[in-house]
Structure 1
Amino acid sequence: MIQRIEKIWKELRNNLLHKFYDERKSLEENAKHKPSGINAQQWKWFLQYRLKDSTKKKCRQNALNRLKQLYTHIGVSKTTARLKDEEEVITNIESQDSSLKGISLIDSLVQVLGKEHSERVRRLGFRPSPTKIIRNNTQQSNSGEQIKGY
């Protein structure tokens, strides 16, 4: 949700400048031609900021960096090494002796990811979390154990 708001705000800022700013006019003339609902002083500050050489330089550099970017979003806050370690632990748990053959993917993920804390807000992403996998508050696992607290 926050990412969506950030994206909308960024697009709105960009559209404001291109829709209401005319390069042929002076700063004062452009300041008079402001969007409705925006304070005149704030509009003038916005124009002054966007017309600074340092801001223009940053905008050009950001555009170049976006062109070089291979992945637009990684969707995780964990390092690659930490993700690899978690995957190894899951693989080890699932490949243990035959007495654990009945263990499900859910059981191994819960063991690796641990109990999810109710006071913590997880960002929405592509990574599995216990609540994404286990929908009910108490659920029977394949090995016959009850999983509680999720």
Structure 2
Amino acid sequence: MGKSWKKTRLRLYNAYFEPTFTTEQNIENRLPGIDREHWRWFLDYRAKVETKKRIEEIEQQDESSRVLSQNDSIAQVFGKEKPGRVRGVGFEPTPSQLFGPNSHAPGNGVQLKETKRKLLELQAELEGEKLKRKAMEDEAAAEKKKMKAMESSLI
């Protein structure tokens, strides 16, 4: 059902959207029976500026991101592919058919290095926080001893 709905949306978009038209002209050019506001929302969804900007930025940083791959601009924006489908290609080819049998392996080398670096950074931060906590506990224990000593001298 999802596959059919996706194909229908793509078919409608390709049949009734004209890139040379204004937004209002494209809204008027919708299929009869489709609510005007629903079609407007659909066209706005397909043309979101922030999504296009993120994709353009990623493509400018890495020319290889323009090629269909696990690290293409779409994958960098939307994340890892789900099993059984590839974004922009549909349900027919699976990630392993397009990218090879290890397509569900965690990330590429750059991502792995970055993850390891971040992990080490967080571990160092955690150790620093543990040392601070230990120092505070020691200080609290020392203060408690002083209080007990004061209490006993007062008694």
Would you call these one fold, judging by a TM-score over 0.5? Answer: no
TM-score by length of 1: 0.37
Larger Rg: 2
Structure 2-normalised TM-score? 0.36
Whichever structure has more helix as a proportion of its residues is: 2
Which structure exhibits the higher relative contact order, with contacts defined as CA atoms closer than 8 Å and separated by 6 or more residues?
A: 1
